[in-house]
Every structure is written in C-alpha cells, then in structure tokens.
Amino acid sequence: MLKTNRLLAFFLPWTICLGGCVSSVTSPGLKAPRASMSDVPDHPYQEDWLRPSADLARRLRDQGARLPYLHSPQEKYDLVAWFANQGEVAYPLLLKTVAEGGAEAASLALAALASTRDARLLPVLDSIPFPGPEAGLLRLERARCHMVLGDWNHISVLIEGLAAERPLVRGMCVQALRETTHMKFGFEPQGDKQAREEAIEGWRTWSEARSGDANQQG
C-alpha cells in the first residue's frame, strides 16, 4: 500500500497512479549510476536560487541520478517528497531534468516542483519548451504543474485531457482542474459519453469566457 503525506497526495506523479512510465518502460535490471562531484557542472538553471552545501549538492545529484530508474510507486513518491522538502536548493537540478531528462524523470521532477507551490519557478519553466501532444502524460503533468503554480495559460491541455480514452486519465485531469479552479461542471470520469461531452463543453466555455475577460482587462 502506498504511504503518502496527505498534503502531498495531490501532487502524486501521474505515472504512479497510472501504474507505468510516461512513454516507455525501464528495464528492471538497470540501476542508477552514482554521481560524483565532478559529473555535473554548475547548473544552467541556478539563477538566484539558494545554493546547497557541498554535502547536500552531492546528495541532490545522487538522488537526481535515481529519477529515471525508479520502479515502485512508493519509491517514486518518496523521492518526489524528498526533493520537494529540499526547497529551492533543489530547483536547478529539477528544472534541468524537466528540460533535458527523459519523460519519466521529467514527470517526477514536475511533480516535485508543483508541490512547492513556488510561483517564482514559472519564468524559468516558461523558458523550457512545452511538450507537444505526442508527449502524452508528460504534457498533462507539465500543464498541471503550471496550473498549480498559478499559470493558467495551459488550462486547455487539461480540459482536452477530459476526453482521454482512459477513465483514470480523465479522472486525474478533472481532479487537477477542480483543485486549481474550484469549478466542477458536473464532469464524471466514468459517466456516459454524452454527459462527459456536455461537461467538457462547459469547461471550454468557462475557460474561453475567462480568457476573454482577462484580455479585455489587459
């Protein structure tokens, strides 16, 4: 049974809940390499974030090297929670993972960043290309991260996710939308198709009206 902290439960990486990797399956025989102090130069995403001590920097790199190689849901959750608890000293590594890591590692990094609720991350995230439709769950995870941090520019990605084939994906999209917007529109992931389509149209109409109001105010 997955043991979680109630406050972090909402930020469970979707790959945990869906029981698989974002876009591929990692061989169980692979083990994470141990990073040395000389393996990674100063991060391009260091910005003005607090810098870790030498010992913590080594631990961050060692834990970061594990991200693509985790298999059990508990391992993934625990590492996301660990990174989130480190605060901004972990931001450069997590941002670099979002920008350059594989889909699985990037998804976990996004979940950790979202759990901080630190809106200062948004300008840096905006500098990292947003995943295209072919990215699947990673694209949804990225949209959720932006929403949680206060950037609703990618809300349409989550709304379109309500039409996903898998009920669990639909459920996670509507959960993210409800948690961030506090709106519902009667969408039920397991509901009949017509009812779901009507609810999705409600989400679209509301989002477009909200966007129009924001443009007029701007």
Rounded Cα distance between 78 and 155, Å, is 28
Rounded Cα distance between 33 and 183, Å, is 44
- Structure confidence at residue 21 (pLDDT): 42
- Structure confidence at residue 210 (pLDDT): 86
pTM of the entire structure? 0.81
Rounded Cα distance between 119 and 94, Å, is 15
First to last CA, the chain: 48
Rounded Cα distance between 209 and 88, Å, is 35
Helical (H) or strand (E) element with 208: helix 193-217
- Structure confidence at residue 52 (pLDDT): 93
Contact, 64 vs 97, CB < 8 A? yes
- Structure confidence at residue 47 (pLDDT): 79
Contact, 36 vs 96, CB < 8 A? no
Q: What is the pLDDT along the chain (218 residues), one digit of tens a residue?
A: 445 454 444 555 555 554 444 433 233 333 433 433 334 345 568 878 999 999 999 999 999 999 999 888 889 999 999 999 999 999 999 999 999 999 999 999 999 999 999 999 999 999 999 999 999 999 999 999 999 999 999 999 999 999 999 998 999 999 999 999 999 999 999 999 999 999 999 999 999 998 865 544 44
Return all residues near 103 (Cβ < 8 A) that are at least 6 apart: 21, 22, 23, 24, 135, 136, 137, 138
